[in-house]
A and B are shown apart, each in its own frame.
Chain A
């Protein structure tokens, strides 16, 4: 079957803010966004992750690559899943891990982000894993951090969540192999989703056959096509011949902003039910970055069904995050 190629025409910025991700020798130092990595670095990360997957199956689930290093989980926004997988990944690499939840402590006391950063830096940290509610926060931290510290973006505002996109690419590659013949559809709240933005860059870098986004106009930004996607507002048309369906989490706050009338209407139109799943290819896989709102964007029977790979995503997340940590700390196995 012929696949329509949609070539991304990514708008150019006058400055290249992503260059900061690499050190002078061209080695990955920070992971802030998928942009600028290119297929070679993404493939390298995925290949490295493949090597780390076996660590989790060993009796002693540890490799000594980051022994004596300190990884600080700096979470300005609450998170359970992402933080625990980062923590587990660091521990399996034998690093010391410090979890700092800042949404309730320093910043509410009026301390500036930079002051907080300097204080933790003074504790001789080697890596910051950062989640922040504002777009661009991880870049800001990477720009101002001490030169020996690596920064991993664990989600900043609506901007980027690169490790999530990488683990999704990893999961797809393990199941489907090559990206070129694939049609991937991302469904739901694209506008406010850092996951969607990173996925769009990752899948396009990996030369995916066709990338679609599906949702109502309120949840899809006007200027999304230049990033390399086809926009669908109708679920049936959008899911036709699709190999991978990625459902995004719908935040409850979206109802208050007048973006949607009710959860029920969203579920009726875009919620992934067993019936709608039949519109895709019979061997299509269903993914979700979690945590899923069952009965809002996805039916329980689909989330737990045979085509769902949601739990695989979670376990793959540990391997991918180990790979990113090891590569950024120049400790490739």
Chain B
């Protein structure tokens, strides 16, 4: 019935399938009854039953002829929402290299508890993800954990040093979904131009985090009223827009597909809008915390608002929200960076930047919908369909016959508070501790296997 694509080196499936699995035991069959099924890619918003077998969606509304109903587990999901699993295109899982902060096992559990079924890892691991061996290791670790899919991004330059091109064709053939130099700059513009040309040859997506290292030097907060008042070294908006403008000039000559990661400023949003109007193949993402927090939340006492790029002014935050609503910004990311406690126990400028964001990504975006700032379909589009298109997850990010059964079931009306008991990530560094949310993820499926259930969150998949 359903054809699996040939396995080319590294596939993304964390759950062994279909080779060597026993139907009904390893490969589950599920019926999810009565949920409000939401999928912006197909304009789907209807109450119906969903049938899952062999890792894929095999029936919508009615069971297919060969469906083994007796063996299927049934979930009564009336009143809940069933959405395609969220695809988070920028999350650090800290493995390999920084296992004292978190591991792939802990963070993929946190991810599925937040409705995220696919994670893309930037290449700034240790060793750097500039060889197939590291990509294989990550895939293997994700398989052992058996929760979310983990897709790797290959390095743009060898060792992320910005000196020599990495073997990006081999990396992408081996399963890397994009290439990036993470937050390390490519100072040599000639090299950047050649990297884009080379990537364009093979139609590889290049992910760029624009931040000029000299303008951002030693900075730890947005250069504005709050940084001035607290005496914190500032990062000006031009640290983002100057390299972005350079990049756009180079893009006009190369034709490579570029995805701007984690936009933070109003001026940045305008540059992207202009570039899109000019027809450049550019897309962009914003982190969920930049949609909710601003410099006003920068607290000199607590490093949990220390992020890179920094939280900017309220005007910038509003522009990011508008950009997301009108599609200038394509997707929302968690920018997940779990830290051990000690990393944040220091004076603000000395704390390590980044926050733990997997479990708040979907709730924060749905909170924007609640506040009437974006539509539900745009919110889901930015979390599922759009990243699937951009990063080439051709059969995920939608609820269609034959699509991968990567799904999240949400209770849309249960108020819950983010606290130490609800947070599953090894990184406790979130500025949203104590926030109330309305949407809670109750169950998550990856590849047709239930990998998370709120009633027993730590059970093995």
Interface residues of A (CB under 8 A from B): 10-15, 17, 20, 112-114, 132, 134-137, 139-140, 143-144, 156-160, 194, 197, 221-224, 226-227
Q: For residues 335 through 391 of chain B, which have their beta carbon under 8 Å from a beta carbon of chain A?
A: 342, 345-350
Cα–Cα, bound, A158→B219 (Å): 12
B205 within 8 A of A: no
On whether the beta carbons of B301 and A140 are closer than 8 Å, the reply is yes
CA distance A310 to B48 in the complex (A): 81
Q: Do A226 and B225 touch (CB < 8 A)?
A: yes
Indicate which residue in B225, B231, B342, B345 contacts A135 across the interface (CB closer than 8 Å): B231
Q: 6 closest Cβ contacts across the A-B interface?
A: A158-B231, A159-B231, A136-B300, A137-B347, A134-B347, A136-B348
By beta carbon, the residue of chain A nearest B298 is A13
Min distance, Cβ A146 to any Cβ of chain B, angstroms: 16
Minimum distance in angstroms from B70 CB to a CB of chain A: 56
Whether B232 is near chain A, meaning CB under 8 Å from some CB there, is yes
Considering the chains assembled together, what is the distance between the CA atoms of A139 and B347 in angstroms? 8
Residues of A close to B224: CB separation below 8 A: 222-223
Asked if B229 and A227 sit within 8 Å, CB to CB, the answer is yes
Which chain B residues border A13 with CB–CB below 8 Å? Answer: 226, 296-299
Assembled-state Cα–Cα distance A156/B345 (Å): 16
CB distance B229 to A197 under 8 Å? yes
Considering the complex, give the chain B residue whose CB is closest to the CB of A220: B228
Q: Determine whether the beta carbon of B301 is less than 8 Å from that of A143.
A: yes
Rounded to whole angstroms, the CA-CA distance of A224 and B230 in the bound complex is: 11
Q: Are B300 and A139 in contact (CB under 8 A)?
A: yes
Interface residues of B in 226-272 (CB under 8 A from A): 226-234
Task: Say whether A134 contacts B349, CB under 8 Å.
Answer: yes
Given contacts A134-B348, A134-B349, contact A11 B297 (CB under 8 A): no
Whether the pair A135, B296 counts as a contact (CB closer than 8 A) is no
Q: A14-B297, A135-B230, A158-B231 are in contact. Are A113 and B225 (CB under 8 A)?
A: no
Q: Does B223 contact A (CB under 8 A)?
A: yes
Q: Which residues from A are CB-within-8-Å of B296? A: 11-14
Report A34 CB to chain B, min CB distance, Å: 12
**Which residue in A12, A156, A221 is a CB contact (below 8 Å) of B228?**
A221
- Contact partner of A113 (CB less than 8 A), chosen from B231, B298, B301, B346, is B346
Measured in the bound complex, the distance between the Cα atoms of B348 and A158 in whole Å is 12
Contacts of A132 in B (CB 8 A): 347
Contact of B231 among A11, A17, A20, A160 (CB under 8 A): A160
- Asked if A112 and B345 sit within 8 Å, CB to CB, the answer is yes
Complex: how many Å from CA A10 to CA B229?
9
Number of B residues with CB within 8 Å of any CB on chain A: 25
Q: Is the CB of A113 within 8 A of B347?
A: yes
Is B301 within 8 A of A136, CB to CB? yes
Q: Which of chain A's residues have a CB closer than 8 A to the CB of B298?
A: 13
B347/A224 in contact, CB under 8 A: no
Residues A11 and B226 in contact, CB atoms below 8 Å apart: yes
10 new A-B contacts, CB < 8 A, other than A159-B231, A221-B227, A226-B229, are A11-B229, A134-B349, A136-B349, A139-B301, A160-B231, A197-B231, A223-B224, A223-B227, A223-B228, A227-B229
Bound-state CA distance A13–B296 (Å) is 5
B230 → A minimal CB distance (Å): 6
Q: Determine the distance from Cα of A271 to Cα of B459 in the docked complex, in whole angstroms.
A: 71
Query: Complex Cα distance A13/B297, Å?
Result: 6
Residues in B whose Cβ lies below 8 Å from that of A143? 301
Asked whether, in the complex, the Cβ of B301 is within 8 Å of the Cβ of A112, the reply is: no
- The reply to whether A17 and B349 contact each other, CB–CB distance below 8 Å, is no
Q: How far is the CB of A12 from chain B (nearest CB, A)?
A: 7
Query: Nearest residue in A to B346 (C-beta to C-beta)?
Result: A113
Over the window 288-324 of chain B, the binary record of Cβ atoms lying under 8 Å from chain A Cβ atoms (1 yes, 0 no) is 0000000011111100000000000000000000000
- On whether the beta carbons of B300 and A159 are closer than 8 Å, the reply is yes
| Bound CA span A13–B342, Å | 25
CA distance A333 to B80 in the complex (A): 67
Q: B232 contacts which chain A residues (CB < 8 A)?
A: 135-136, 157-159
Closest to A141 in B: B347
A221 to B348, CA, bound (A): 20
Inter-chain CA distance A13–B348, complex, in Å, is 15
What are 24 A-B interface contacts by the 8 Å CB criterion?
A: A11-B225, A13-B226, A14-B296, A17-B299, A17-B300, A113-B346, A114-B346, A134-B349, A134-B350, A135-B232, A135-B347, A135-B348, A136-B300, A140-B301, A140-B347, A140-B348, A157-B349, A159-B231, A197-B229, A197-B231, A222-B223, A222-B224, A223-B225, A223-B228
Contact (A222, B228) CB under 8 Å given A135-B348, A137-B347, A159-B300? yes
CB distance from B339 to the nearest CB of A (A): 14
| Least distance between B27 CB and chain A CB atoms (Å) | 49
How far apart sit A197 and B228, CA to CA, in the bound complex (Å)?
A: 9
**A residues within 8 A CB of B223?**
221-222
Q: Report chain B residues within 8 Å CB of A227.
A: 228-229
* B300 in contact with A135 (CB, 8 Å): yes
Residues in A neighbouring B345, C-beta threshold 8 A: 112, 114, 144
CA distance A2 to B32 in the complex (A): 78
Measured CA separation A160–B230 after assembly (Å)? 8
> B350 — which chain A residues lie within 8 A by C-beta?
113, 134
A160 partner residues in chain B, CB cutoff 8 A: 231
* Distance between Cα atoms of A143 and B227 in the complex (Å): 21
Chain B residue contacts of A139, Cβ below 8 A: 300-301, 347
Taking CB atoms, residues of chain B closer than 8 Å to A134 are 346-350
Which B residues are CB-close (under 8 A) to A224? 228
Q: How far is the CA of A15 from the CA of B338 in the complex (A)?
A: 24
Q: A12 to B349: give the CA distance in the assembly, Å.
A: 20
Q: Find out whether the CB atom of A136 lies under 8 angstroms from the CB atom of B230.
A: yes
Instruction: Please indicate the chain A residues that have their CB under 8 angstroms from the CB of B228 in the complex.
Output: 221-224, 227
Give the distance in Å from the alpha carbon of A144 to the alpha carbon of B301 in the complex: 10
Q: Please, how many angstroms separate the alpha-carbon atoms of A264 and B237 in the complex?
A: 32
